[in-house]
Amino acid sequence: MRGRLQQGDSLILFPEGTSNDGARVLPFRSAFLGVADAAAAVQPISVVYDRLGGLPACRRDRPHFAWYGDMDLGSHFWRLARQPGGRVTVLLHQPADPRAFRDRKALTQAVERAVAEGAADLRQNRTPVPLHPR
pTM score, whole prediction:
0.87
Tens digit of pLDDT for each residue in 55-79? 888 888 877 788 777 878 888 788 8
54-79 burial, b at 16+ Cβ within 10 Å, e below that, comes to eeebeeebbebbbeeeeeeeeebeee
Tell me the sheet residues that pair with 90.
47
131: left (phi over 0), alpha (psi -120 to 50) or beta: beta
Tell me the sheet residues that pair with 91.
46
The rounded distance, in Å, linking the Cα atoms of 128 and 115 is 12
Q: How many helices (H) and strands (E) does the chain have?
A: 4, 3
More confident call, 104 vs 21? 104
Residues 6+ apart with CB under 8 A from 38: 1, 2, 5, 6
Report percent pLDDT > 90 for the chain.
Answer: 57
